[in-house]
Structures are given as structure tokens and as C-alpha cells.
Amino acid sequence: MQTHEIRERFTAHFVKSGHTEVPSASLILDDPTLLFVNAGMVPFKPYFLGQQTPPFPNGTATSIQKCVRTLDIEEVGITTRHNTFFQMAGNFSFGQYFKKGAITYAWCLLTGSLEEGGYGLDPERLWVTCYLDDDEAADIWHHHIGVPKERIQRLGMADNYWSMGVPGPCGPCSEIYYDRGPEYGAEGGPIADDNRYMEIWNLVFMQNERGEGSGKGDFEILGPLPKKNIDTGLGIERVACILQGVDNVYETDLLRPVIDVAAELSGADYGSDHDRDVKFRVIADHSRTGMMLILDGVTPGNEGRGYILRRLLRRIIRSARLLGATGPTMEQFMSTIMDTMTPSFPEIKKNRERILKTAVNEETAFLKTLESGTELFDHAAAETRAQDRKTISGERAFALHDTYGFPIDLTLEMAREQGLEVDTEGFEKLMAEQKARAKADNKAKKHGHQDLSVFREFVDEHPTEFVGYENLSSESTIVGLVHNGQTITEAHPGDEVDVIVDLSPMYAESGGQLGDRGFFRYGGIEFPINDVQKIAKKVWVHKTRIPDNAQLELGAQVETVVDEAWRHAARQAHSATHLIHGALRQVLGPTAVQAGSMNKPGYLRFDFNYTEQLSPEQLAQIEDITNAVVDADYQVNTIETSLEEAKAMGAMALFGENYGDIVRVVEIGGAFSRELCGGTHVGHSSQIGPVAVLGESSVGSGVRRIEAFSGLDSFRYLSKERALAEGLAAHFKTPSNQLPERIAQLTAKLKAAEKHIAELHRQQLSSNISNFVDQAQVVNGVKVIAEQLPAGTKAGDLRTLAADIRGRCGEGAAVVVLAAEDENAKVPFVIGATKAATQRGIHCGDLVKVFGEYISGRGGGKPDMAQGSGTQAGGLDAGFSAVIEELHNFK
């Protein structure tokens, strides 16, 4: 049975039983506690935590959720049951059926005949585990289902008790195992051998509330939940393994084709050597996970999700090379995994080109890094052995990572392959110091899961009616006041208050558009509204500060008013964002996919997945197309329809956004721009006014950003640019249309003059080479030239001069140390060594670190030439002395 059919049978089984089918959420959710969705229940967390009421008619749901777990990347392929990406099929009950229902549903699907829609598993090969004191579940399994007592085993908190890891719902669980036969291990059930007895389904019975604590069992059970819930998870890949009669999850219909491609490209055989097989499995697993992450909008980068993706893709490339592949492989791997996964995820088809381009570009960049980094690593490993050590220093590992872009995980892998270790503690210390020097991350991203339960009653009983598409003011009733996380009945002067009203014309921040500004009018006083946020897509929270000599009370009748100028300019910018997106896709093609946006009155920025810098001609074309649509005066149409119909119309959606059954489509110029969007927009494209593209830049690997002004802000910007051009034209006594040519001529002359001056400077420095060599001192048998050169000498000149001096030193051991203060008050320095010096074990990279300590500098390089830069010129003399002292002590 193919995996796609396994999925279909699961969904059909529960839909037939009255469960609402819930599509898989994106792997990327707006949850600061998670990099990726890592369990099937994650999208349902608000319902289990009591923050929202489940919207399912029968209080039951079913889903097959995409999941990624990356904590144990290093273990991938070593065991044959775990993947970084997996599909978790689940059924959920929110206060409806409980243990008996969950157990019955699971058993019927697993053992039901193929003709009846089941999986047809032999019931005699199924074992179950229950929590130690869960007699109720054990009794259901035995008396209601008929599982013999000897195939029901009891396990403790670590195995059969579930919680989210934080205070909240928890409860015992019951797991279902399949006996794969004596060829896979010892008899005796899951307790005896969990390789032979493969876990396929976990049934969680949420019946209690847990308190504070850590670990799987170190917490207090506070008492029963008001409503008992069910959360189950069946591993699609593991069931496929059983139904397809293969040994492990890597040999199912989804992953085995990638392994076969890897074998063809590398010439290596799969199944004959464990270490080699691990590399095949890494390629298969990471190809699928990488592809699914790119599908959901992740691009390779150096932080967070982007770093995980980059790490996965680079492990694929390196594993392929270790197997024997010599050329590019990513396109074949990605094409193969997309073919196997498309039946279950049809959205792959329209994103195929973008996925391929992202993965192949990362491979191209990494192959260059791999070539240079491997050479540097091999030198570090050889030097470590030459010094009779088994550990590569943290400094070397950090230099490989920071200076040459060689990932630490590859350094660790390569060290293990050569029987060496890495000083990870030293590496981490240097990484921590680097992070301390960098700007702090956005603190909001580091916060835990925000407690929104205070808004639960409003989500359930007082959802906000938004009337802002048609009106800029409304008569409203205050139905909620929240201050410092608590509901209140009155707000007093100076209080920062979240105000909830029954209906509002204020747009709440979402979809990249900032919330409206405006005010409440009450008792002749205006209460400024400086932000509007949305809770659970149902409640508008208006943030205000109570003015002096004023107060607000629950139940008060207020007038809610939108700042008309703010709304007008915000609509212009939001509609302009749609036009920029449409123009972008016309110029760059369908692979330029939106990766985020922000618009506020008069200004917009648009992020998109693309790997190349845009040319001035492309930017000009995007701006021209956008303003042509403005000039065309297209009507802006909004259509409310079903999600499926919107997709059929070709409406574009955002990655990671969850949409309801009924969606709003905003259309400008027909097929030119048709997007799912709940924002506010102009009535006709001409109302946007002129759009001025400011430029584009990189905001991360594979992500570019366009910024632009709209409306009056665009006009003001263009007026300033015109005034600047007129001023330059008057200054240079040149017509404005000839300014580029005139400035280019002057720039060329300036560069020529600078080049001539630099050459004279180099000649002057070179004339002193003989003096430098003649004045050299001999330290421990090594000739040392240590000189501070005139201020303004550049790093490139230092390097050239050091190489020249080194060449003049002949066959003997010599070290050259040159430094200067440049025009930016930085202190570049270079250290070079002759071949005879390096043969004695002198390493310029080590000497650079000694020198750098005295000028607040750092650097690195090869044994015969290294360089760096510092900031404290006052330490140069001490730095020279320290290097000489180091050579004095050298053996």
C-alpha cells in the first residue's frame, strides 16, 4: 500500500465518523516557542490550553500534520526508525469521546479489512502499553477490544504519561506496537525489545492539569481537567514500513527512490556497509526535510530556521561526496523527492522551480566553501597530529566557522572521521563572545508562549464585528477592559488599557499592514488609539492610555473613529504592495515568491525569495509597470468566496498563514494582481498615486527586499531627488540629463589620481625593503623584521610588502611583522614567514592572535601568511614585542 493511500484511508476513516478534516498547518507557525511544528497537536494548542473554543461542529477533528524535529540531526540514519520530517496523523476530541472511543477508533482502522477501508493488520501481532495505574485503559483494551492481558504492558511516566512540558493539560497515554517478528529481536513485547515491536500509534488521554516542574515526571498533578480531551498520533511512515513489507522507514516508497539516485550518482552500493548506509539515509531524509522547509518558505541562512535548512542541505552535499559523487547532485535529489511527495502535497508542483533553484544555489555556494574549508581543516588536523595532540583547538574551529564559513558540525564530523576531537568548549566560548558583540536579538522573539487566556471569554462570547471596510467611525459598546493582564471594570487616568468593543471600524494589524490609528470619543474626551491587535482572528484589541481627568467603564457607549488621513495613506501603501508583487513576478518570473511584507502610511517594504541582486534596469522596469497600473485606473475588486474557489481563480496566499473556509480575494487589474488579503485598499488603482521604488537589498540568504514610497510620500521623495539633481547640475554647470556622464568622468579621473598616488606610495615603501632586511634582528635563529609603516598604509599594501620582504630574506628562517594605522583609524597588520620558518613549526596564524591581543584585534590565515585588524594603534609597540618574545620562547 502506497503512502498516499495510507493517508487517504486514515482521513476517510475519521471523516466518516464525524470528525472535521483539518488541513496540515505550515511547518512555520506564529509561535515563539517553536522553530517548526514538531507534533500533530501543535496547531490545536489554543484549544487544549483553553485559550480558544474549538470551532469544529462535533467537537472532534482529524488531521495529517507536517512535522519537523531537528534536535537529533546527528543521529539521523544511525537508527532506522526516525526522520527529521514526518507526517503525524491524528484524531482529536475536545470534551467528546474519551478513552473507549479513541481506543475503538484506532483498533478498527488498524485491523479493519482493506475492503472496508482499514489497514488489514493482523490483530495477533498488535501489542499495547498503558500507564502504570491506568486500569481504565487496560480494562478497555482487554474486555472491550479483546487484547489478551499478556499483550498489555504497563510503563511509567517517561514512556506513558504526556504533558506539554509547561503547566497545563496532561494525562496518561496508551501506545500501540506492531510485532515485526523474531528476525527483528527478542520476544517479550515492547518492554523487551522496541526494535522488534515498533510503536505505530500513541493515544493521549488528557484528563489532568499539571503544575510547575521540569523533566518528564518532575511536576505535580493539580487535579482533573473540566473537560477530558483526546490527542492521538499515528506515524504514517512507520505504518508504510509495515504495509510495504520493508525493513525500515528509509526503504518505503517515499525515500528509497532518493537512495537509489544517490547510489547511481556515487557508484556506491546501499545495504552492504553500515557507515555507508548512514550517509545514504542522511541524503534521503535531509532531501525530504529540506524540500518541505523550502516549500513552506524557509530559505538558507545563518540563524534560526534558515540555519537548520542550510545545515541539512550541506550535510546532503557532503554525504554524497563521501559516497563518491563528484559533481552537483542536489537537482537530482530534489527532483526525485518532489516526485514521491507530490501525490500527498500537490502544492509542490507549482513551487517546483523555486524549490530547485533555492537548493541548487545553496549547493553551488557550499561546494566552493567545502573545497577551501576542507583544505584548511586537513592542515589543522595534520598540525594537531604533528604536535602529538588529539584535539583541534577551539580557535581553529572558530576560524573555520567564522572566517571561512565552514560549519562547526562538519568540522566535528570530519574530526571524528580522522579519529580526532574538537575543543567545543573553546569554540562555544568564542561564539558567545561574538554574539555578545553583535546586536541583541529581538527580545519579543525570546519570550515564551504568551498567556492569552484572559481574552478567551471575549473570543467565545464577544467577537468583534469589523465594519471598517465601509465606515471610518461607529457607535460601539465597550465589552472588555484589560489592564496588566487582568480584566477590570474601570480604567483610570494614566492606565495603559486594552479596550474591546462590540464593533469597530479600526483595522487590526495583520497581513503586513499596521493597525489603524484613531480615537474613542466618550464624554466629550478623545482617548487616542495608538495600536490595534487581533486575538485569535476574532477579537480586536484597541490599545489606549487614559487621559488626565478621564476614565472608561465597562459597558460605556463610545464613538470609535479612524484617523482618516492615516487610513487613506495606509490603503495607498497596501494596494501599492500588491502592485509591486505583481510587477515583480512579471519581471522575475514565478520563482519570486513573497516572504513577508510591511506597509504603513506612505511606505512599504516587500520581501521575496530570490537569490540574485536585481539590476537597476529590473528595478526601473518594476517601478514602470507599477505606475502603469496606477495610471490605468483599474477598479479594485474584493470577492468573498471559498478557499478552494480562490485557489482555482489563481489567488496567491502567504506561507504559514492559516485561512478559513471563506476568504477575501483582492483583485487589481484582473490576473495582474489577485491575492488572498483581509487588508484595506483603495477603490481604484489611480488613488494610490505615484510609487517610487527606493531600491532593493538582501535581508538574508535567498531573501531580497524592495522598499518604496507611495502617494504624497512618493511625491515628496521625487521632489527632493529633483532638487538634488538640479543642484548638482548647477554646480557642475552641466544639463541634468548629462549628469551621469559628467560624474562618471570625474570619478574616473579621481580613481586614476588615487591609483597614481597609491603607486607612488608603494614605490616609496618598496625603496625601504633593503633597509628593513638589513636592520632585522635575529631571535632564536630566526630573522625578524617588525615595522610600523606610515599612517594611511592599506592592508593590501602591507600584504604585498610583507611578501616582497619575505622573498628578500633568502632560504633562512625569517618572520615579517608589518602594521599601520589606516585612514579609518583601524590598524591592519600582516605576518609572513619563510618556508624555513614554517618547517620549524612557526605558524603565522598563531602569531596573529598574539599580536592582535595588544591592539584589540583579531585575524587568521595560513602558516606562511596571516593577517588581521585591530582598533588600538597605541598597542603596536607592545604587539611587536610580544611576537618577538613568542619567538624567543619557541622551541
* Cα distances (Å, whole numbers) of residue 14 to 62, 118, 359, 583: 7, 11, 37, 44
Length of the chain: 891
Which residues are paired to 475 by β-bridges?
A: 559
Report the candidate in 571, 539, 601, 536 with the shortest Cα–Cα distance to residue 677: 571
Q: How far is 352 from 340, CA to CA, in rounded Å?
A: 13
| 675 within 8 A of 581, measured Cβ to Cβ | yes
* Phi-psi region at 513: left, alpha or beta (left = phi > 0; alpha = psi -120 to 50): beta
| 379 within 8 A of 408, measured Cβ to Cβ | no
- 677 marked as part of a ligand binding site: yes
Torsion angle defined by CA atoms of residues 378, 383, 388 and 392, in that order, rounded to the nearest 10 degrees = -60
| 233 within 8 A of 69, measured Cβ to Cβ | no
Contacts of 69 (CB under 8 A, 6+ apart): 36, 38, 84, 86
Cell 465601509 locates to 470
Q: How far is 676 from 653, CA to CA, in rounded Å?
A: 5
Measured CA angle at 28 (ends 22, 31), to 5 deg = 95
Q: How far is 357 from 330, CA to CA, in rounded Å?
A: 10
Contacts of 638 (CB under 8 A, 6+ apart): 469, 664, 665, 666, 667, 681
DSSP character string of 751-800: HHHHHHHHHHHHHHHHTTHHHHHHT-EEETTEEEEEEEPPTT--HHHHHH
- 681 marked as part of a ligand binding site: yes
How far is C-alpha 665 from the chain's CA centre? 28
* Cα distances (Å, whole numbers) of residue 297 to 305, 609, 778, 801: 10, 8, 61, 49
What residue type is 448 in one-letter code? G
Copy the grid coordinates of residue 332.
537530482
Which residues are paired to 665 by β-bridges?
A: 639, 676
Dihedral sign of CA atoms 715, 716, 721, 723 in order: positive
Q: How far is 869 from 857, CA to CA, in rounded Å?
A: 5
Q: How far is 589 from 581, CA to CA, in rounded Å?
A: 11
Do strands 539-545 and 525-535 pair parallel, antiparallel, or not at all (unpaired)? antiparallel
Burial of 799 (0-12, 13-18, 19+ CB in 10 A): middle
* Cα distances (Å, whole numbers) of residue 873 to 380, 797, 824, 880: 31, 18, 12, 12
Report the candidate in 47, 356, 56 with the shortest Cα–Cα distance to residue 225: 47
Strands (E), 365-508: 391-392, 421-422, 465-466, 473-483, 486-488, 490-491, 496-501, 503-504
- 578 marked as part of a ligand binding site: yes
Do strands 814-819 and 782-788 pair parallel, antiparallel, or not at all (unpaired)? parallel
* Phi-psi region at 804: left, alpha or beta (left = phi > 0; alpha = psi -120 to 50): alpha
**Residues 125-155 as b or e (16 or more Cβ within 10 Å = b):** ebbbbbbeebebbbebbeeebebeeebbbeb
Question: Greatest CA span in the chain, whole angstroms?
Answer: 99
- Could you list the residues known to form a binding site for Zn(2+), using ranges: 574, 578, 677, 681
- Could you list the residues known to form a binding site, using ranges: 574, 578, 677, 681
